[in-house]
Amino acid sequence: MSAIVAGILLLAGALFSIAAGVGLVRLPDVYIRMHAATKVGTLGSGLILAATAVHFAEASVVLRCVLIIVFLLMTAPIGAHMIGRAALRIGIVPWGIDREPPGDR
Amino acid sequence: MSSFAANLVLAAAWAMLFGAFTPLTIVSGFVVGYGVLWLLQPLVGRRSSYFLRVWYWLKLVVLFLYELLLSSIEVLWEVVTPSHISRPAIIDMPLDVKSDAGILLVTNLISLTPGTLSIDVSEDRRTLRLHAMFAEDPEAVRRQLKSGMEKWVIDAVEGT
Amino acid sequence: MTATGFLEASTTLGFVAVFIAVGLAVYRLARGPSLPDRVVALDLMTVAIVAFCGLAAIRTGEAAFLDVALVLALVGFLATVALARFAERQQLRREEEAGK
Amino acid sequence: MTDEPNAAPAAPGLAGLLPVALSAVLFAGFLALVPQVADGGAIRLAWDWVPTLGIALSFLVDGLSLTFALLISGIGALVFLYSWAYLGRKPEFGRYTLFLTGFMLSMLGLVLADNLIALFVFWELTTITSYLLIGFNHEQADARRAALQALFVTGAGALAMLAGFILLGFTAGSFELSVILAQGEALRAHALYLPILILILAGTFTKSAQFPFHFWLPNAMAAPTPVSAFLHSATMVKAGVYLMARLHPALSGTEIWMWSLTIFGAITAVFASVVALRQTDLKQALAYTTLMALGTLTLFLGQESGYAMTAFATFLIVHSLYKAALFLVVGNIDYATGTRDARILGGLARTMPVTAFAAALAAMSMAGLPPFLGFIGKELKYAGALAVASEPLVVAGAILIASALMLAVAGVVAIRPFWLPPGGAFPRQPRPAPWPMLTGPVILALLGATFGIYPDTLERALVAPTVAALLGSAEEAKPLVLWAGVNLPLILSVATIVLGVTIYAFKLRLRAALARAEAALPSFDAGWDRFLKGLNRVAVWQTRVIQPGVLRFYIFVTFVTVLIGAAGTMLARGALPALPSLSTVTWDGLALSLLIVAGAAIAAVTGSRIAAMAALGVVGIAVAMIFIVFGAPDVAITQLLVETLVVVLVAVALLRLPALDPPGTRDRRPRDAVLAGAVGLTVTLTLLAVIERPLDRSLTDYFETASWVEAFGRNIVNVILVDFRALDTFGEIAVVVIAALSAYALLRTTDKRRPE
Amino acid sequence: MSWLLATPLALPFLTGVVAFLLRGRPAGRWISVAGNVALLAAAGLLMARVLQSGVIAGQMGGWPAPFGITLVADYLSAVMVVITAITALAVAVYALSDIGARAEKLGYHALFNFLIGGVTGAFLTGDLFNLYVWFEVMLISSFGLLVLGGRREQIDGGVKYVTLNLISTILFLSGIGLLYGMTGTLNMADLAGRVAAHENQGLITVVAMLFMIAFGVKAAVFPLFFWLPASYHTPAFSVSAVFAGLLTKVGVYALIRLFTLVFTGDTGFTHHILLWVAGLTMVTGVLGAAAQTDIRKILSFHIVSQIGYMIMGLALYTPFAVAGAVFYLVHHIIVKANLFLIAGVADRVAGSTALARIGGLYKSAPLLAVLFLIPAFSLAGFPPLSGFWAKYVLVAAALEVQGWIIAAVALLVGLLTIYSMTKIWAEAFWKAHPDGRDPTLAQLDPGVRRRLLLPVGALAALTLVIGFYPEPFVTFAKDAAAQLLDPTAYVVAVLGDPS
Amino acid sequence: MEALLAVTIGVLVAGAVYLMLARNVLRFIFGLVLISNAANLVIFTAGRLTPGEPPLIPEGADAPVGTVANALPQALVLTAIVIGFGLFAFALVLMFRAYTSLGTLQSDEMRVAEPRDDGL
Amino acid sequence: MNSVILRAGTRYLAPLLLLFSVYMLLRGHNEPGGGFIGGLIGATGFVLYAIACGTAEARRALRVLPQNIAVTGLGIALLAGLAAALFGDALFTGQWLFLGATETEKGLPLSTVLVFDIGVYLVVFGAVLTLVFAMEEEI
Ligand code: NA
Ligand code: NA
């Protein structure tokens, strides 16, 4: 049973991971690509770690997996914020906006 | 969060790391945690207790996970469809949340949830600038975030 | 297909997915065009390695690999932060120089 | 160009007389040994020095060495006395005395040494001390040049000679001269005889200033006059002659020995006496006559006959006596007038009668007039020349020309300045020399006369024993007589005098002609300058080529060396690997490899710093993944952490650094790419060859068993780090600390000038 | 045993740590001197023990060889440690007056002592990877010392020094990896046997070449020496003295160690190449020196040239020749370090090390002149100074095996060495000072003068001792060579008796 | 698998050498990072690859169960990584300082210690 | 770095990193971790701090000069190695003490090996911070 749950989680994780990668390549500008990397990438990895937790089903491993996911959720958005802020300050105009971004000072 | 509480939390985290709540790990965790807190005194300010907000926390976590899944599927859709349907915008949103924890949570959650990505908080901590993917109506986005994510966070972290 | 077989296949697929993600990130890294683009790519790679560690743990049954993931999850974003800051500061410097 | 002797004649401190006493005592000591040696009783003393290398401080007193020792210590005493008055009030007199004493002692060591290597040590000590003495007037560029020239030329010869000594020692099985000299037959028959001979002659010819190595000697006249008197009469330049004489029993008797010594000696003698006549500086004139004497002595040493050896021994002594006397005389003239220019000097007999007297005696000895010892010497020279093995007439002719020229030069040096009217104004009002400066010339000149009249003493005491040392038996020595009846030598002597006087009479015209002739000939002295210039040019050229100051070149050469070293050896030693099997390749491994390749490629070609850095990050991450895949979590964690810190540091550093390529340029370097590819391929091939055979895992097996049981750790890698190989780890953290301290110091250090 | 071996290694680190924590205080500098006195004592004890009982080995951590790390001292190691201690003490005293307060505050004494620790570690270790570690300790300390002060030429020289040495480091590390992959061991005594037993001797030779190149860079041989003349004239005089004396010698030591102990299976190839390297190193180095006009630059190129002699001894690979190399090594460290120290004094009193800008030292600083002449003429190989015996043994060893050309090269290079040494002498000492100054030692503060001249005098005295009384040193070198060429004793001391 | 890594290392080295030969010393630094990785991989590969099993001794056992990866090269690589980091950090700071005091990163222009007209 | 978000995050991440680093140090003998890794992670905590709040702030929090920490760590490691001599063993021989050991339980292991690893931790921690702070202060 746990193997099947883990497997499904893995598949979902795999799907989102690929989506994150494709998004990074396909999406039109850095801001939107960040949406892909940050959200989808984190979710993909989180799901795979969830699968790991399910697979091992040991307290120590589960705890570690939870910690990893928490850490990821804590750090990934901070990273994204830093990148986005830099992009804005560099003056990268978001795709689909015809004017100077408001952040450009 | 009082220093003592913080210390307890760290001790617990320590024990979790070792995967066993034995007296040895708790005590050693407390000692290590004490050391860490001592080292980081300038960083850790004084805060009120927060044990009562467990419920709000749970709610926050569940809602958040749901939103994360939702947003990912949204992006997934954007990725797999041949054309880009997004209408992005940079939006400034006033912030009511005040504490570090609150700001961190709000911005992180906004980043991880559908269509929005925190980009910066102004120096006076009053405004959050974010990138929204589907922002035909910026005002709607603002409203939605304020009543959703920010409210949940305030409930969980800063509520009375 | 047995449950373990299914898990194994999913693990393999997981690996493939991670590699594809990393590969695509490398593409973005090489292409740019902007500095933040490259940083995003690196950031995604970090996150992908975390997944990779989880997969490695599943495949070998060895929880030790989770320690790698743990470290990376905590520390990996530091590189992103540093690079992002670089991008931003560089811009500031350029403006300073232009202003002079 | 004069020595600037003491301004006032007042006697300086008495301490300056210590070396006089020392050399006098030594002289007396040696004199006391004369009877024993004359009776054929050589004295040998030996102390161990470097027994492991067969080197002993052993000394031999026989006729040859005793003759030299007497000349050295005797003339030394007189020169020290002279110097005391001549230079004693100069501040540098202390050093001067020290060096000169050192020189004298080294010279004594040289002639007395019975061990080749010990002899060499003394030989080089004379080189060093003479270097310091020739450079006495060190603030003058000429003196420095002359000192270097002497050092370099004689040093070069000495080094060749050292090789010759070593070979000689190996061949003879000992460095002891007594042993070597007893093996003449065997040595001459040995395959190494020729190289040994050439190498040793290189040393003696340079030291004794044989043509074409003669040019340093006249320049060495930059030394103060007493130094010249000492070095160029009896001592340093005669060291080469001494050594040829010393080794005569071992090495002589072959065609090559005979011809090389005869030819070089003859050429040197004639050449030098011709050039001597041309000189207007009295000291220079004497210097060239010294060359003539050295050539003559060398010529005789090429022979085997008793006449030649007797001539050698006699002329050796004759020359030492009159040459030292004349140098000192010139010193007095210089002291008196401030010049040594023969064209100006004249009429000094009145002001300095004693010097004039000594000069006259010495000059007559030099000119070979009876009844001076010089006459006997010249007679013997002719006798010796006529007794040479082949071409006696040519040799005699050479000696005739040389002797006649010598006579003319003697006139220039000793007659003209004293007895003829001056040719111009002197730099200063002539003044008489003080007594210590007269003692030497007078005694030496008188000795020349005394031995001329009573040659037997000299014959028995020194000449015969010297010949004995050369030929093995005192019986071979020919008698020294003033009147041997009318014979061919006497006729030649008369011819010499006639020719000499004629030359003297026409010397001005001859001088001009010689000057023209010399100008037409290549100058060896100018050759020295060309040599130095050439050396410098080669050195600079080489430095430009191999040390151009361009880092890129250095790195390129280093990698080329790596490539040649590794790939070349691989080909030369047949170490190429077989085609590897790729059957164990896993797809994840392949993916990671591709990732690394992509990262490396991007890093290598990109012009964007951030792309390069990110590419490095990719490589780092991929490598970490390899560590994960192959079971190395500790390494993977470390790798990732380090990678992160690398990015952080570079990101900080880049903030102040400029773009990789200057605007408008791109980094494309096909040549470098080829080299890089070749190096990479070599690494691959080597590694493939290494992994062809299975690994011996015994170390790891031990660690695996001992890790928990004996070292109480379950993480074997960590146990290795902190226990099994803790010393590595200690060194490693030391590296980290030091790197941090160094980098910190570098950043905090001064001189923060920003670029323009 | 373990103590005797580890003390010379541990002491400098301890000294460095204490000196750093006390930096900026007077005690910090004297700790360095005291630590080096203790180091000299420890080195002396070690030497006494080695002389008494031959090769000694100590297993660090108590783990038996080849599993743990073994420290070994044979004659060569012991004498290198002693000579290191001597040089270090001399430089430590000299540095008291040479190094400024700023550099001290930034940790000069710590860096210096760590460097010495790296050097002694390299000499004492019996483990190849551990050797790498000590090399790195040495290298990184030298980086720091080289650029301490931060003058522009220091930075420039530092860039070249650092880049080229890093390449060598990587080569060394890779070589270790490859050798481990072939033999499964890192212990050098163990390697000796396993390398000989390896099936693919050609491959062993390839790896041997990698080591030769890696150490060749460290030793500054042709054509890998660029970093040395590019940088050695730039740092503080104490620093360049200790570099000149010790650093390249560690490379030479490593070459000698590996090419007498481990890589001896293909000497016809490897040592023949070494012989070419030796000759070319001598010639290019000495010609490089001839082109220079600054004392320190001349001396730097001479280091290169002199390294050639040591390599020549190794390359000839006879007991006599290796003895020559050992003797040369010892002699050269003393002499070269001393010459750099003297250059420092000359710079102090005459104002520069550029020959065109100084002069007059012979007249006004005769003591310095004497102190210069001793090492200078020793370096040039004049008897009876130490350098003569060094050259003598090597030339004799070459002639013994009919190495005519290399002997000729050695002699010729000796001649050109004379040329450069007399160039310094003539320009800095004999020539009048171009500014008409009379540079005297008396112009130095008496304390400063003592601290500068005491080490110089001591090293010069040592040169004289070796020169006038060479017998024990020659005997020692011969015994050391015998040990090197028959490593049985070494292997047994490390691995135990196989029987 | 070792063979594949051997090839990969070769490429890595080639890239590194190409970078190190560049005019800009910053590229040398990049090359240094690459070649350090390559050297570490050489050690790791020469110690042979064992997929999966880290050299850990499970609770209750006295020695690793089954074949585990070769621990010794791992320890060596770890040491080498840390040392490499130290060297890299210094080199980076040096190049940084080189730029601030010499005003260039182009090695051809770094001619202070060995000036162009030296000794000529 | 004037980022409110980063500073807020750092407030929680930096202590976590420090805590985690000590954890990695202590468990290193039995599981992945050890002095290097611990030291690197601990340093990362302060690096983050320095980036987020500035070097001056980070130095204030650290109180001690990082280079002194590093050098002290080196001294500790060395003394841990030399301590073996007090027990008559070869240098760098681990000396173990099992607190509260019983027949079945080994008890809490204390050893010079751990002290050595703590030295390693301090060295890496101090050295990295020395470097990063100094570099940060250049810009
Ligand atoms: Na050196
Ligand atoms: Na040297």
- Name the H helices within chain B: 3-18, 23-39, 54-80, 100-112, 138-145, 151-153
Instruction: Tell me what pLDDT residue B84 has.
Output: 67
Rounded Cα–Cα distance for residues B91 and B129 (Å): 6
B-contacting chains (≥3 CB pairs under 8 Å): A, G
| pLDDT level of residue B1 (50, 70, 90 thresholds) | very low
Query: Which SS3 state, helix, strand or coil, does residue B160 take?
Result: coil
The C-alpha atoms of residue E159 and residue D131 are separated, in whole angstroms, by 41
Closest partner residue to C82 (CB to CB) among G24, G32, G51 is G51
The full DSSP string for E460-489 is: HHHHHHHHHS-HHHHHHHHHHHHHHHSTHH
Considering CB atoms only, which of C23, C71, C85 is closest to D637? C71
Closest CA relative to residue E257, chosen from E41, E445, E77: E77
pLDDT tens-digit readout, E26-59: 888 899 999 999 999 999 999 999 999 999 999 9
Which positions ≥6 away from E38 have C-beta within 8 Å? E11, E15
Chains that touch E (3 or more CB pairs under 8 A): D, F, G
Q: Taking residues D473-501, what's their average pLDDT?
A: 84
**Residues in Cβ contact with D21 at an 8 Å cutoff, skipping those fewer than 6 apart:** none
* Interface touch E17/G89, C-beta < 8 Å: no
Provide, rounded to the nearest whole percent, the portion of chain D with pLDDT above 90: 54
CA distance D197 to D247: 10
| Selected residue of D592, D618, D623, D634 to mutate for chain C interface (largest C Cβ count, 10 A) | D618
Token output for D711: 């070292």
- Per-window interface: G 40-69 vs E, CB < 8 A: 67-68
Asked whether residue A72 carries a pLDDT value surpassing 50, the answer given is yes
According to DSSP, the residues that pair with B132 across neighbouring strands are B89, B116
Tell me, letter by letter, the H, E, C secondary structure of D529-582. Answer: HHHHHHHHHHHHHHHHHHCCCCHHHHHHHHHHHHHHHHHHHHHHCCCCCCCCCC
Q: What average pLDDT does this structure show over A18-32?
A: 88
Which tops the pLDDT comparison, D133 or B66?
D133
Which 3 state secondary structure label does DSSP give E372?
A: helix
Chains G and D are touching, with contact defined as 3 or more CB–CB pairs separated by less than 8 Å: yes
Angle, CA G131 vertex, CA G128 and CA G137 arms, to 5°: 135
Enter the DSSP assignment of E184: S
> Region D273-300: what's the mean pLDDT?
88
Using a pLDDT cut of 70, give the percent of chain E over it. Answer: 99
Residue F36 with chain D: CB contacts under 8 Å: none
CA separation (Å) from B79 to A32, A81, D488?
Answer: 10, 21, 124
DSSP state of D370: T
Q: Which residues contact D128 (CB under 8 A, 6 or more apart)?
A: D151, E377, E382
* Secondary structure of D251-299 in HEC code, one letter for each residue: HCCCHHHHHHHHHHHHHHHHHHHHHHHHCCEHHHHHHHHHHHHHHHHHH
Q: Take residue E349 and report the two structure tokens written for it.
A: 């009193």
Taking contacts as CB-CB distances below 8 angstroms, the residues of chain F near E292 are 118-119
The answer to which of A58-72, E369-383, E390-404, G68-82 has the lowest mean pLDDT is A58-72
Contact of C93 with chain D, judged by CB distance below 8 Å, is answered with yes
In DSSP notation, D209-225 reads: T-TTSTTHHHHGGGS-H
| Chain D interface includes C11 (CB < 8 A) | no
The separation between CA F11 and the C-alpha centre of its own chain, rounded to angstroms, equals 14
pLDDT in tens, D535-558: 999 999 998 888 888 899 999 999
Give the span between the Cα atoms of D622 and D596, in whole angstroms: 6
pLDDT in tens, E459-476: 999 999 999 999 999 999
| pLDDT at site D375 | 87
Q: Which of C31, C66, C95 to probe the A interface (max A CBs under 10 A)?
A: C66
Instruction: Give the whole-angstrom CA distance, residue F41 versus residue F61.
Output: 30
pTM for the structure as a whole: 0.93
Q: Kindly tell me whether chain E and chain F come into contact, counting contact as 3+ Cβ pairs under 8 Å.
A: yes
Q: What ipTM is given for this predicted complex?
A: 0.93
The predicted structure's pLDDT at residue A101: 46
Q: What is the mean pLDDT of residues B72-88?
A: 75
Which amino acid does the sequence have at D547? Q
Inter-chain touch F52–C64, beta carbons under 8 Å? no
pLDDT greater than 60 at residue B52 = no
Q: What is the pLDDT of residue D658?
A: 87
Q: Inform me whether the pLDDT recorded for A105 exceeds 50.
A: no
Ligand nearest to the CA of E335: 2
pLDDT at D97 over 50: yes
Closest CA to E375 of E414, E342, E327, E420: E342
What does the block give as tokens for F100?
């601030």
- E323 within domain boundaries: yes
- DSSP of D574-604: T-PPPPPP-TT--HHHHHHHHHHHHHHHHHH
Q: What proportion of chain A, given as a percentage, has pLDDT over 70?
A: 90
In angstroms, rounded to a whole number, what is the distance separating the alpha carbons of residues E200 and E181? 13
Between CA E324 and CA E330, with CA E325 as vertex, the angle to 5 degrees is 100
B75 touches chain G (CB under 8 A): no
Question: What is the overall mean pLDDT for chain A?
Answer: 84
Enumerate helices (H) and strands (E) in chain A, giving the number of each: 4, 0
Phi–psi pair at B93, nearest 5 degrees:
-130, 130
The amino acid at residue F20 is M
Q: Is the pLDDT at F118 greater than 60, yes or no? A: no
Share of chain D above pLDDT 70, in %: 97
Distance E303 CA to ligand 2 centre (A): 4
Distance E61 CA to ligand 2 centre (A): 35
Tokens of B10: 């760290």
User: Could you tell me which residue, D612 or E16, shows the higher pLDDT?
Assistant: E16
Buried b (16+ CB within 10 A) or exposed e, D453-489: eebeebbbbbbbbbbbbbbeebebbbebeeeeeeeeb
Ligand nearest to the backbone CA of E232: 1
Q: What is the pLDDT of residue D12?
A: 67
In angstroms, what CA-CA distances link D670 with D563, D675, E104, E278? 17, 9, 47, 33
Q: What are the DSSP calls for D101-151, one per residue?
A: HHHHHHHHHHHHB-BHHHHHHHHHHHHHHHHHHHTSSTTSHHHHHHHHHHH
Please give the tally of structural domains in chain C. Answer: 1
**Domain range list for chain F:** 2-50+69-106
Query: Rounded to 5, what percent of chain F is helix, strand, coil?
Result: 65, 0, 35
Region B140-152: mean pLDDT is 81
Tokens of F86: 């130290």
Does residue E186 surpass a pLDDT of 90? yes
Contacts of A13 (CB under 8 A, 6+ apart): A43, A44, A45, A46, A47, A48, A50, A51, C14, C17, C51
Level-2 CATH architecture, domain F2-50+69-106: Orthogonal Bundle (1.10)
Nearest-Cα distance to chain A for B59, in Å, is 16
Cβ-Cβ contacts under 8 Å, C56 against chain A: none
| pLDDT, tens digit, 9 for 90 and up, residues D50-79 | 999 999 999 999 999 999 999 999 999 999
Find out whether D752 and F106 touch, Cβ atoms under 8 Å: no
Q: Does G107 touch chain B (CB under 8 A)?
A: no
Domain of E383, in residue numbers: 266-492
- State in Å: Cα E219 to ligand 1 middle: 7
D158 is written with which tokens?
């000495």
Query: Which of B72-81, D561-570, E192-201, E340-349 has the least mean pLDDT?
Result: B72-81
* Residue burial D626-638, b: 16+ Cβ < 10 Å; e: rest: bbbbbbbbbbbbb
Which residues in chain C are closer than 8 Å to D652, comparing Cβ atoms? 82, 86
User: Distances in Å between the alpha carbon of G67 and those of C38, D647, D735, E139?
Assistant: 34, 21, 13, 19
Is residue D90 a contact partner of residue D10, using CB atoms and an 8 Å limit? no
Burial class (CB in 10 A: 0-12, 13-18, 19+), B4: exposed
pLDDT tens string F11-47: 999 999 999 999 999 999 999 999 999 999 999 999 9
Q: What is the pLDDT of residues D163-214, one digit of tens each?
A: 999 999 999 999 999 999 999 899 999 999 999 999 999 999 999 988 888 8
Q: How far is B145 from chain A (nearest CA, A)?
A: 16
Q: How far is the CA of E248 from the centre of ligand 1 (A)?
A: 4
* Nearest-by-CA chain D residue for C23: D595
Three-class secondary structure of residue D58 per DSSP? strand
Q: How far apart are CA F87 and CA F93, in angstroms?
A: 10
pLDDT of F119: 46
- Evaluated on CA atoms A81, A82, A84, A85, the torsion sign reads positive
Q: Torsions phi, psi of G123, nearest 5?
A: -60, -50
Distance CA B117, CA A38 (A): 9
- Quick one: pLDDT band at residue C50, thresholds 50, 70, 90? very high
> For residue range D123-162, what is the model confidence (pLDDT) as tens digits?
999 999 999 999 999 999 999 999 999 999 999 999 999 9
In angstroms, rounded to a whole number, what is the distance separating the alpha carbons of residues E447 and C96?
A: 52
Query: In chain B, what are the domain boundaries?
Result: 3-44, 51-158
Q: Which long-range contacts (CB under 8 A, 24 or more apart) does D590-594 make?
A: D590/F4, D591/C19, D591/C23, D592/D622, D592/D625, D592/D626, D592/D629, D593/F4, D593/F5, D593/F7, D593/F8, D594/C23
Percent of chain E with pLDDT over 90: 91
Is the predicted pLDDT of residue B105 greater than 80, yes or no?
yes
Q: Please report how many Cα atoms fall inside a 13 Å half-sphere around the Cα of residue B58, on the Cβ side.
A: 5
pLDDT at B91: 85
| Mean pLDDT, residues D299-315 taken together | 90
Tell me which residues have their CB within 5 A of the ion that is ligand 2: E 244, 303, 336
Q: Which two tokens stand for residue G44?
A: 């990362």
Domain that holds residue C64: 3-99
Q: Which residues of C are less than 8 Å from A21 in CB distance?
A: 20-25, 44, 48
Nearest to D66 by CA among D600, D390, D458, D406: D458
Q: How far apart are CA F19 and CA D667, in angstroms?
A: 10
Higher pLDDT, E106 or C1: E106
- Summarize the confidence of residues E186-211 as an average pLDDT: 95
Cβ–Cβ < 8 Å for A11, C27: no
Give the integer Cα–Cα distance in Å for B38 and B134: 46
Which residue(s) pair with E77 in the sheet?
none
Integer Cα distance of E428 and E346 in angstroms: 8
pLDDT at F53 over 50: yes
Task: Give the CATH number, domain containing residue C33.
Answer: 1.10.287
Q: Which tokens hold the place of D191?
A: 């395959």
Q: How many domains does chain E have?
A: 1
Please give the mean pLDDT across all residues of chain D: 89
F36 or D580, which is more confident: F36
Confidence band of E224 (pLDDT split at 50, 70, 90): very high
B and G touch with 3+ CB pairs <8 Å, answer yes
Q: List pLDDT tens digits, range D418-457.
A: 988 888 888 888 888 898 999 999 999 999 889 888 888 8
D681 in contact with E, Cβ within 8 Å: no
For every one of its 139 residues, what pLDDT tens digit does chain G have, with 9 covering 90 and above? Answer: 678 889 988 988 899 899 989 989 988 888 888 899 999 999 999 999 999 999 999 999 999 999 999 999 999 999 998 887 777 777 777 777 766 666 655 655 678 888 999 999 999 999 999 999 999 998 7
User: What pLDDT, on a 0 to 100 scale, did the predictor assign at position B47?
Assistant: 44
* pLDDT of D755: 38
D319 pLDDT more than 60? yes
Which residues in chain G have their CB less than 8 angstroms from residue E60's CB?
90-93
Q: What is the overall mean pLDDT for chain C?
A: 87
Beta bridge partners of B92: B129
